[in-house]
Amino acid sequence: MAATAYAAATAVLTPRVCTTSTVKSPCCSALPYLPPRLSVSSFSSSIKQVSESRRFSSLQTRASSEESPVDASELFTDLKEKWDAVENKSTVILYGGGAIVAVWLSSTIVGAINSIPLLPKIMELVGLGYTGWFVYRYLLFKSSRKELATDIEALKKKIAGTE
């Protein structure tokens, strides 16, 4: 038992010996190949790229470190005023909870559909086909674009209740 373990260990740890006479044979070394050395010109260009990226990152940091025009306390006071102005708070909470449940449920359904092997590709084709039809039907010609604009305006009036 100990002899077989010793033989296995020596077989794994012994270096490979070349069987051919060529120097660049892949069996001559157990070490991985290193990438070729960089020339002086490529090294200096890589240094320039690093210095330029540092310069641009400092510009990005300065641009993003400016103060935003929205004050957090002002935002909270506006939200509190709007919440106090709502008369039926239970309905707003119910609609908000329903929206959260609807998003969760739709995410679950999409995940289940996505796990079926061929169905996501078929759905992509259906979406691509519908997009092509919509572009042909409503966006390609000037008269159909006008028709779409009037339909959208009529829908806006219907939703706003001004019709």
Q: What is the DSSP string of 106-153?
A: HHHHHHHHHHSSSHHHHHHHHHHHHHHHHIIIIISSHHHHHHHHHHHH
- pTM of this prediction? 0.38
Q: What is the pLDDT along the chain (163 residues), one digit of tens a residue?
A: 555 545 544 544 555 555 555 555 555 566 777 777 766 555 566 566 655 555 555 555 555 555 566 788 888 899 899 989 888 989 999 999 999 999 999 999 989 988 988 888 999 999 999 999 999 999 999 999 999 999 999 999 999 888 6
Which among 92, 68, 96, 71 is positioned nearest to 82, based on CA atoms? 92
What's the pLDDT score for residue 105? Answer: 97
- CA contacts within 13 A on the Cβ side of 36: 4
How far apart, in Å, are the Cα atoms of 141 and each of 101, 133, 146? 41, 13, 9
Other C-beta atoms closer than 10 Å to the C-beta of 28 total: 15
pLDDT of the residue at 33: 74
